[in-house]
Amino acid sequence: MATATSHTADEARTSRPASALPKYGRLKNFVGGAFIDVPGRSMSVISPLDGSFLAEMPCSSAADLDLAVKAAQAAFPAWSRTPIKERVQVLFRYRHLLEKHMQDLAALVSEENGKTLGEAVAEIEKCVELTEFATSLPQLVTGEVLEVSKGVECRTEHPPLGVVASIVPFNFPAMVPNWTMPNALALGNCMIIKPSEKVPLSLVRLAELLQEAGLPEGVFNIVNGDSEVVEAICDHPGIEAISFVGSTKVAKLVYRRATNNLKRCLALGGAKNHLLVLPDAKPEMTAQNVAASMSGCAGQRCMAASAMIGVGAIDHIIEKICEEARRIIPGRNLGAVINAEAKERIERYITEAEQQGAKVLVDGRGATVEGKDKGTYVGPTVIDGVKPHMAIAREEVFGPVISIMRVDTLDEALAIENANPYGNAAAVFTQNGGYARYVIDRASAGMVGVNVGVPVPREPFSFGGWNESKFGVGDITGKSSIEFWTRLKKSTVKWNPEAGINWMS
């Protein structure tokens, strides 16, 4: 997954266009229902599509975070006491606004992230679905009540935690915030979000829509910044829980620091997703799914296929994959990678694999788009003959690259998949139901697909991996999120003294 805090301010300044004014000016934090200035150092927000200078993002301090926490704490008593049926009315209106402004939101996501407009529209459509699920929470948190003895009943309820925080990555500027925000707010929490310093613009617009939908002041807040703010979020005594999405390296740091401060934390990390392709797989369907999985969002998603394991004779399928890959054109149906550093890193992986003996069947290095010389593009890349020990087979490349390894048996393929330290997703392509079940039972991944290249669960099923792809218990989306964003309160009530006392009451 994307790293939420990967650049220093000095590194960001080096990419700022000379003698240029940012299109969106200097951004502000959103605190207590108002956009407020944050003086001091800043970072440049650059569009990967064409290198244009989009905005100056302020680097907030621990004191700036404290202002947001106090605003959220002030809003919490009234918001948490508002009945959940009333709280979700705000989200019904917010959902309508997402649909109303879908094209404008998608254009902004594309501009700051680099994905195609179609992919950006799909991201906003997912935001709509996530919000729809949040509006159903009144039916899912009704609690339980049971008469456990004559005149004695036990009841469970789900009160909110208080002030919570979400630290989000660059690869989905709108969707990942909507993984957490609608559910956390519907359940009665007040939230602080720290956007990625690479893509802070979409969250500004989401805050405006929430405000238009009638969300009370202080319930939702944005604090821009770099690693200083992440550390402050982990340390602040007024924050009860933290969700994080980013690289495994940073996820571990956030999880350890947050839990060391006795906070609830769920940190989602990186991935190395394996697609197991068997000889009986449908060639056309498999090729389309593999190509789309490895290149969608320029490969910058934690569910992208980056490693393929061919079992037996699958040359005919690899030929089809290459045909599909050649139809994917940077700037047309393939977006940009996030910045020049990412482009250089991805191309370095490809070159290193080639030097180690792998064969580049489709080469995306050196990709350019006419009229966008300063854009950062990598073309679709298919590499055959990759060995499990190579870096490109073990590490998260986060680009439109598929590395193909060859084995003779399904057990050999599963051994390679199981040996990788991550555990987000795995998939198998076959027409044999027995083989499919065999892989589902044995793949070391939290999400498994059969003839599906990107096995992302739809709501109400939750998103979450295993192993070094997730740190913490539960998930932050779907039904599982209820446990993360609330406490469980149990009450036992008796109103009939004439019933006497027994071991049950």
CA 87/CA 135 separation, integer angstroms:
9
- Which among 14, 48, 15 has a CA at the least distance from the CA of 337? 48
Cα→Cα distances 469→134, 249, 275, 396, Å: 25, 10, 17, 11
Catalytic residue among 190, 234, 302, 322: 302
3-state secondary structure 321-337: HHHHHHCCCECCCECCC
234 as an active site residue: the answer is: no
Do the Cβ atoms of 281 and 310 come closer than 8 Å? no
CA 232/CA 224 separation, integer angstroms:
12
Strand order across the 359-362 sheet: 359-362, 381-384, 401-407, 305-311, 273-277, 425-429, 447-450
Q: What is the largest CA-CA distance in the chain?
A: 86
DSSP 8-state assignment for residue 160: B
CA 403/CA 384 separation, integer angstroms:
6
Amino acid at 402: I
**What is the full DSSP assignment across 106-144?**
HHHHHHHH---HHHHHHHHHHHHHHHHHHHTHHHH----
Amino acid at 84: I
How many Cβ atoms from other residues are within 10 Å of residue 43's Cβ?
26
CA 392/CA 403 separation, integer angstroms:
7
User: 152 forms bridges with which residues in the sheet?
Assistant: 149, 494
Please enumerate, as own/partner, the contacts of 125-130 that have beta carbons within 8 Å and a separation of 24 or more: 126/175, 126/178, 127/98, 127/174, 127/175, 127/178, 128/95, 128/98, 128/99, 128/102, 129/458, 129/459, 130/175, 130/178, 130/179, 130/182, 130/183, 130/459, 130/477
Residue with tokens 């060391």: 260
Amino acid at 452: V
95 — phi, psi (to 5°)?
-60, -45
The tokens for 182 are: 């609608």
Do the Cβ atoms of 298 and 115 come closer than 8 Å? yes
CA 230/CA 60 separation, integer angstroms:
10
Residues with a catalytic annotation lie at 302
